[in-house]
Amino acid sequence: MSETAGKTVMLTTTPDDIARAAALLSAGALVAFPTETVYGLGADATNPQAIAGLYAAKGRPQFNPLIAHVATLDQALALGLFSSQALLLATRFWPGPLTLVVPVRPQGAVCELARAGLDSVAIRVPDHPVARALLIAANRPIAAPSANRSGHVSASTARHVQDDLGGRIAAIVDGGASPIGVESTILGCLDDRITMLRPGGLARAELEAALGATIQDGVADAEAPRAPGRLTSHYAPRHALRLNGSEIRPGEALLDFGGKGLPGSVPVATRDLSPSGNLTEAAANLYTYLRELDSIPSAGIVVSPLPPDGLGEAIEDRLIRAAAPRA
Ligand code: TXA
Ligand code: MG
């Protein structure tokens, strides 16, 4: 995959370099940039290919849902459904080190892979001049996990990002050290309660004072058990999903990988996640193909075995969640 080879360009914060960084993001490339909390590894949140490349570059063992960063409250409102309390928090604390998880707006632009199949979306308006300039120039939601490899600590300088991800991403915008140095506070705003999903750069007491209520502890998706989301559901196909199939049973549709097909009956429909056997391409196609097969009448969907390395494990994990019975 292209992100694993090649040189990472160091960019400054001049208007020319910001425009270059925005053009790279718009073209689907990965660009790290400073925010007031930590550096983020940015990718176009509307582009599943870009998001698959991001998961690959981070070496994430799972498709954790990502935070969509936007420049304005209006852009945030186009992505998610805000309760009156969520709107109060957004108005009071954005731009700033606060992420709100809200129900996704139907037709919202953040792609399903960036949401890891959840029907909620995490949104943040960062308060950093370079991040804001970049988001305005890119003019689209930018998914940005902390710019470190999975399992490493978050990066608060361009140098840290270079050490961790150099050679795997297109560019790093060097905007100096991130002033806060810890990630944003994440609040769940999925019903009429507000829950703490991750403590971070904005103190609980300040948030509770603004709300005039205490905040319950919630469970972030990343820590949730291997079951459909406890906060809100993952994409659940209507048809039964049979993983790691060795044969096609009568009436089944096939979700293939690597163009090899399976023995047995002729499938009622077939989609191949990646005929060439590329796992990044497979990740990018996952939700679209699952939905397409799910819309076709069948006795169920059988999935070909996936290699357990790289993104294969993450794809398998999401398929297991999709196949699990609803709570
Ligand atoms: O300060 C920050 O938040 C930084 C900067 C770059 O903005 N970003 C960051 O992203 O820390 P990341 O991906 O490292 O952490 C995002 C967390 C993950 O634990 C993820 O599980 C959670 O947000 N999250 C995202 N969407 C979610 C959702 N729909 N429901 C529950 N949790 C969600
Ligand atoms: Mg992180």
The pLDDT tens digits of the residues spanning 173-188 come to 999 999 998 999 999 9
CA distance 247 to 268: 14
Please work out whether the CB of residue 184 comes within 6 Å of at least one atom of ligand 1: yes
1 pLDDT more than 50: no
Paired residues of 264 in beta bridges: 248
- Give residues with Cβ within 8 angstroms of 242, minimum separation 6: 252, 300, 301, 302, 303, 323
- DSSP state, residue 3: G
C-beta of residue 300 within 8 angstroms of C-beta of residue 241: yes
Counting ligand 1 atoms within 8 A of each CB, the residue from 81, 130, 221 with the most, and so the one to mutate, is 221
Quote the CA–CA distance of 45 and 115 in Å, as a whole number.
Answer: 9
Task: Give the residue ranges of DSSP H helices in 68-217.
Answer: 73-77, 84-93, 129-138, 158-165, 204-211
- CA of 116 from ligand 2 middle (Å) equals 15
321 pLDDT tier (thresholds 50, 70, 90): confident
The SS3 of residue 72 is coil
Q: Are strands 67-69 and 195-198 parallel, antiparallel or unpaired?
A: unpaired
38 lines ligand 1 (CB under 6 A): yes
pLDDT band at 192 (very low <50, low <70, confident <90, very high): confident
CB of 231 sitting under 6 A from ligand 1 = yes
Average pLDDT over residues 60-80: 93
CA angle 110, 122, 87 (to 5 degrees): 110
Could you tell me which residues come within 8 angstroms of residue 165 by beta carbon, excluding any fewer than 6 positions away? 8, 32, 41, 57, 58, 147, 148, 149, 172
Where is pLDDT greater, at 324 or 290? 290
For residues 30 and 53, the answer to whether their CB atoms sit within 8 Å is yes
Residue 291's pLDDT band, with cuts at 50, 70 and 90, is confident
Residue-wise pLDDT tens digits, 88-140 = 999 999 999 999 999 999 999 999 999 999 999 999 999 999 999 999 999 99
The count of other CB atoms within 10 Å of the CB of residue 266 is 11
Which tokens go with 23?
């053009």
Pocket flag, ligand 1, residue 99 (CB < 6 Å): yes
Q: pTM value?
A: 0.90
Q: When comparing pLDDT for 264 and 230, which is higher?
A: 264
Give me the pLDDT at residue 2, please: 39
Q: Which two tokens stand for residue 52?
A: 């698959």
Report the pLDDT value the prediction gives residue 308, as an integer from 0 to 100: 87
Per residue in 275-286, pLDDT tens? Answer: 999 999 999 999
